[in-house]
Amino acid sequence: MRVSVVQMNPGADKAANIAQAERLSTAAIEADRPDIVALPEIWTCLGGDRATKLAAAELLPEPGSNARGGEAYEALRAMAVANRIHVHGGSIGERVGDRLRNTSLLFAPDGREVARYSKLHLFDITAPDGTGYRESSTYDAGSAVVTARAGDTACGLAICYDVRFPELFLSLRQAGAELIFLPAAFTLQTGKDHWEVLVRARAIETQCWIAAPATWGQHMEPKGPRHTFGHSLICDPWGHVVAKCSDGTGWATARIDPAITARVRADMPVLEHRRLPLDHRPAAPTA
Ligand SMILES: O=C(O)CNC(=O)[C@H](CS)NC(=O)CCC(=O)C(=O)O
């Protein structure tokens, strides 16, 4: 199975972002014939003020209802059907009342939505250059760990800042995941030091493939430009980077080979070697 990760430079104009996603995905599909195309985090609207983000967000159809969704939802579904491939739609703003969730969607080649995951860990931090981020002022966190099947491949879902929480990735592996999607809009400041190290670490310790499509470049925000790191990549279960995007928009493709997954897991059975439960809390040292 072949997976393409698409690297985008979205702005605040949702229609232009959808056109960009369609153009880059079509180019990737024509060049590399992937079975799955994956987009970055919040590719529908990066930058812009809160009202713009709210306006770009979409009400999602009831799961399993087959009702029509918003423009981005239907564009992703159409991309899957037209090309008879799976489409992992990175993430989009999901409207829930006057709040948002940062939500991933996976579509099957027949256009059925087969997975929906809302980002668990919200980016409320101060970057090394002093820039503050407060994702929780706009978004609510999800509450569920999500896996789904894409053809023969068991997939796990995570988003961006989630990459810093290994217990999520371990629970995806324990639920059977072989390939984990990690759409991102990593900041330039944190990305240059942490992005590739974190993605490779999660691949190595879970022995999963990780497909990590990211936004790249400058995005205009009300307080000034924001830069995201790009470097979209695909890791194999040994932690090798097997495909990677350069600067600019584009895509990268890799073949997901289940024989590699099986060999890595058989030769180094770390899951069987685990001694501590995921929620292990040791006692503090006493004097
Ligand atoms: O806010 C939006 O519209 C789209 N969402 C994002 O850009 C999110 C939340 S601000 N970005 C991250 O999680 C970056 C994580 C990161 O860079 C790190 O972990 O170092």
Is 90 exceeded by the pLDDT of residue 278?
A: no
Judged by DSSP in three states, 50 sits in: helix
Residue 286 in any domain: the answer is no
Ligand 1 geometric centre to CA of 225 (Å): 14
pLDDT tens, residue by residue, 207-259:
999 999 999 999 988 888 999 999 999 999 999 999 999 999 999 999 999 99
CB of 185 closer than 6 A to ligand 1? yes
User: Of 14, 53, 119, 208, which one is the catalytic site residue?
Assistant: 119
Q: In this structure, what CATH number is given to the domain that contains residue 202?
A: 3.60.110.10
Token pair 């944190």 in the structure block, residue: 190
Q: How far apart are CA 3 and CA 278, in angstroms?
A: 30
Residue 47 in any domain: the answer is yes
Residue 287 in any domain: the answer is no
- The separation between the first and the last C-alpha atoms of the chain, rounded to the nearest angstrom, is 55
Range of the domain at 175: 2-271
Give the mean pLDDT of 79-94.
98
Q: What residues have CB less than 8 Å from 187, skipping those under 6 apart?
A: 127, 131, 133, 226, 227, 228, 229
208 catalytic, yes or no? Answer: no
- pLDDT band at 126, cuts 50/70/90? very high
Ligand 1 geometric centre to CA of 134 (Å): 9
- pLDDT band at 37, cuts 50/70/90? very high
Residue 217 in any domain: the answer is yes
Token pair 């997939």 in the structure block, residue: 155
Q: What is the mean pLDDT of the chain?
A: 96
Residue 48 in any domain: the answer is yes
238 to 117, 128, 186, 242, 267: CA distances (angstroms): 26, 30, 23, 10, 11
192 catalytic, yes or no? Answer: no
Please state whether the predicted TM-score (pTM) of the whole model is above 0.90: yes
ipTM: 0.94
Judged by DSSP in three states, 236 sits in: coil
Residue 279 in any domain: the answer is no
What atom in ligand 1 is closest to the CA of residue 139?
Answer: 1
Residues in the chain: 287
- pLDDT band at 98, cuts 50/70/90? confident
What atom in ligand 1 is closest to the CA of residue 93?
Answer: 3
Q: How far apart are CA 144 and CA 202, in angstroms?
A: 19
> For the chain, how many structural domains are there in total?
1
The pLDDT score that the predictor gives to residue 287 is 79
CB of 123 closer than 6 A to ligand 1? yes
Residue 282 in any domain: the answer is no
pLDDT tens, residue by residue, 65-83:
879 999 999 999 999 999 9
174 to 36, 84, 210: CA distances (angstroms): 23, 30, 15
Residue pair 219/228 in contact (Cβ under 8 Å)? The answer is: yes
pLDDT tens, residue by residue, 186-206:
999 999 999 999 999 999 999
What is the percent of the chain with per-residue pLDDT over 70, rounded to a whole number? 100
119 catalytic, yes or no? Answer: yes
Residue 281 in any domain: the answer is no
